[in-house]
Amino acid sequence: MHKYNIIRKQFLLATALVLALANPVSAQTDTTVYHLTIDQETVNKAGKDVTGMTINGNIPGPTLTFTEGDYAVIYVENKMDVETSVHWHGLLLPNFYDGVPYLTTPPIRPGETLKYEYPLIQSGTYWYHSHTMLQEQSGVYGSIVIHPKEQTLDYDHEQVLVISDWTNQKPMNVLRNLKRGNEWYNMKKGTSTPLNRVIARGGFGAQLKFWRQRMESADIADIYYPAFLMNGEKQVAYTQYKPGDKVRLRIINASASSQYWLTFGGKDPLLVAADGLRVVPVMHNKTFIGIAETYDFIVTIPDNGQMEVRASVQDGSGQTSAYLGSGDTLAAPDVPRPDKIGMMKQMAKMNMRMGAPAMKFNPSNEEPYKLKENRGMQMEEDMDMEGEMDHSGMNVRDEKVKPDTAHAPGKIGMDNSAMEGVTMFSEYNYDYLEAVEKTSFSEDRPVKEVLLNLTGNMWRYIWSMNGVPLSEADQIKVEKGKVMRITLNNLTMMHHPMHLHGHFFRVINEYGERSPLKHTVNVPPMQKVVIEFAATEDSDWFFHCHVLYHMMSGMARVYSYGDERDPRLKEYPLKVLVNEGKHWYSWGRTEVASHMASLNLVSANIRNQLNLNVEYGWNQIAEGEFTYERYLYDYFRVFAGVNVENEKKNSFDEVVTTAVAGFRFFTPYMFDLDVRIDNLLRPQIGLEREIMILPRTVAFGEIEYQADFGLVNDISDEDNLIGNDLYNEELVWAAGLEYFLSRNFSLMASYDNRFGFGGGLTARF
């Protein structure tokens, strides 16, 4: 790494000198120029015309092709009515052009064009995408191919395959739906685990353990997608390839929220590169590709037909394929749909709080990082990145090809003691990747260690590190010249593909000193991964989960070298970057039934929530309440507000308005507890719970108990005191069923001891 960075800096210095001495209106002879235009257009990717975001009129955008050593000049024009940006994923380039708006690069405002320019000091398969809000989900992404100066890999053709997911919903509505805790996406995909199925499989004990951890099930993927795309289509065919042709497949996972198993028809493919960098070739058919990762394979077109390259979504909810060659199809192997209930039963046997505990919200989070310094592990001499990044290549015919080790138990720097007897994650490892040269550091190089627990709150859909979302986190200080050793400890039930801008890092695996270099690493549920990188850069660099909705909900950090911000960013305040903490999400729910009607409105951000609840019975019993909540940590909040209700049955002549205050707590086993007192000094306790009992059917119940000790005189007469009329009983309860017709509508039936029995329609908005 040290040698590579010296070469890199010399290259950048030489390039700057050439540009300074040259005629300012002339370009280098090796300059490659592209013009990209981002616009909003009507597209149809899943059977419905919707508004998408295109690059040069297409989704995905064009492949940008370069040769190592080129000087890239890319003009990006924004023809939309909102800001945009472009991040060049995996490229090592000057910090100012990295493309994270307000952190490293100015946003591209409507009607403006931003010029990106940088030398290309590497080769391989990379990609680019918007880093503004959720635009990547709407289509702002494309591929990058950088050919080495000297090509020695043995193949005849190459083909880029960009995998992505597509939703017809507006991405912000998707995130809003996740924030409200709606189970519709799992219902639609058929990946929910209703209680009837859990009990039938003997998994009720495991379910109780999940509920105790405030988790509904072993979640795999958050969102329902009507289509998965390969180069912008549900499936593509490339018939130009002939039998015996060797084709280098450059496969990029540009999805917003989906991870895949890659399988290949015909002979097993040869994996030759990961995240753009060469690895020791290995025959490897079933390969897990996390979001933002890239893998290069060399395949041979079969003599007797076309081969299928299939990307099967991790949760079994869909797939997309490319077909190479012509004739009868040699189908790729099927990947069985995950057995979520079986996973739950296995995971219940292990410590479901493996690793360090999640932290409470803490605006100053240096302590949770548990930073410390030492002289490092026993490492080899500084790794030589020149050969790795040179990509002058190796001839596969001259290299030893390893057997497929994809299914060996994973290590990845993790403690497997807690995983004994649990095999569902054994395939999610990088032990089949071996760097072509040593990547280790000198043993006398100082090391700074950072522990990052990957944490989340699925109930409110807030994702974090060490329990702290980005908006409340400090920057992680990087000391130049040291080795940063990061332990990524996943305390959640979901995979997190973690990407570091501007650096490659070692993913510590069984190959030790030849552990592979990557820019994105998948961290499986309840496992941990150790990565290392040399702190040789400048300025600030973004580090985040590449599940787009996790990043937008707080699972991100900034690695800072402590330098002054680029003066070109003076008018772009850094605080805009962490706006996810300030953004308010609003949703509502209304019920119209034969016995009552209700309205519930919620508006919330990470710390604050506003609630309006109104209930009206056709027997003229009514109650309304407005409260403000403040979250002290993930599951506990205090609140205050106003409650209004009529005191006399079938009459609005006497209405009582009281001030209320108390706390609400989302308890283990997933009960919502409400403890309060009003200005009449009447204490009250309430409890609510809902359970999915059938694939689309939810049972719900609530109970409230209020006591009146007569500490404050009520304005009502004795005949109307609490307990004398049905609607003002000390004990109020309700129970019912809800059957989901769609994301926005469901049928409901309930009994409420104030309103009686009835049924009707529920609408969500």
Strand order in the sheet with 124-129: 64-67, 141-147, 124-129, 87-89
3-state class (DSSP) for residue 476: strand
In this structure, what are the phi and psi dihedrals at residue 568, rounded to the nearest 5 degrees?
Answer: -70, -10
Domains of the chain and CATH, by start? 1-148 (2.60.40.420), 198-216+340-390+406-564 (2.60.40.420), 227-330 (2.60.40.420), 585-764 (2.40.160)
Task: Provide the mean pLDDT of the chain.
Answer: 85
Instruction: Name the residue with tokens 């057997």.
Output: 403
Helix 340-347 to helix 204-212 angle (10° resolution) is 70
The per-residue pLDDT for 563 is 85
Residue 18 banded pLDDT, cuts 50, 70, 90: very low
Q: Which amino acid is at 535?
A: A
Tell me how crowded residue 417 is: count the other CB atoms within 10 A of its CB: 9
**H or E segment and range at residue 343:** helix 340-347
The pLDDT confidence band at residue 580, using thresholds 50, 70 and 90, is: low
- Write down the pLDDT at residue 155: 95
pLDDT band of residue 64 (cuts 50, 70, 90) is: very high
Categorize the per-residue pLDDT at 564 as very low, low, confident or very high, splitting at 50, 70 and 90. Answer: confident
Cβ count near 169 (within 10 Å): 17
Residues 6+ apart with CB under 8 A from 112: 77, 78
Cβ within 8 Å of residue 269, ≥6 positions away = 249, 283, 284, 285, 297, 298, 299
| pLDDT bracket for residue 714 (50, 70, 90) | low
pLDDT of 690 above 90 = yes
Taking the alpha carbons of 702, 707, 713, 717 in that order, is the dihedral positive or negative? positive
Q: What's the rounded Cα separation, in Å, for the pair 250 and 542?
A: 25
Contacts of 23 (CB under 8 A, 6+ apart): none
Indicate if the pLDDT at residue 375 is higher than 60: no
Residues in contact with 313: Cβ distance below 8 Å, sequence separation at least 6, in sequence order? 165, 221, 225, 228, 258, 259, 260, 319
CA 258, CA 191: separation in Å to the nearest integer?
A: 14
Dump pLDDT digits (tens) for 294-336.
999 999 999 989 999 999 999 999 999 999 999 999 999 999 9
From the list 486, 404, 481, the residue with the least C-alpha distance to 452 is 486
Residue whose pair of structure tokens reads 């690793």 in the numeric block: 355
Q: What are the backbone dihedrals phi and psi of residue 713, each rounded to the nearest 5 degrees, phi first?
A: -65, 130
List Cα–Cα distances, 434 to 70, 387, 416, in angstroms: 28, 15, 21
Of 81-85, 145-149, 169-173, 348-352, which gets the smallest average pLDDT? 348-352
Q: How confident is the model at residue 562 (pLDDT cuts 50, 70, 90)?
A: confident
pLDDT band at residue 28 under the 50/70/90 scheme: low
User: How many CB atoms sit inside 10 A of residue 588's CB?
Assistant: 14
Give the SS3 label for residue 406. coil
Residues 6+ apart with CB under 8 A from 97: 88, 104, 105, 116, 117, 118
Please give the share of the chain, as a percent, with pLDDT higher than 70.
Answer: 83
Nearest Cα neighbor of 259 from 309, 233, 293 is 293
d(CA 317, CA 228): 10
Residues 156, 221 contacting (CB under 8 angstroms)? no
In 317-362, at which residue ranges do the beta strands (DSSP E only) sit? 319-324, 329-330
Extended strands (E) in 618-730: 622-633, 636-646, 655-666, 672-678, 683-694, 697-706
The pLDDT of 266-290, averaged and rounded, is: 95
Task: Name the residue among 539, 372, 503, 559 with its Cα closest to residue 447.
Answer: 372
Q: Would you state the pLDDT for residue 215?
A: 87
Q: Look up the pTM and report it.
A: 0.86
pLDDT band, very low/low/confident/very high, at 712 (cuts 50, 70, 90):
confident
The residue that leads in pLDDT, 751 or 713, is: 751
Average pLDDT value for residue range 529-553: 95
Angle at 528 between CA 314 and CA 509, to 5 degrees: 90
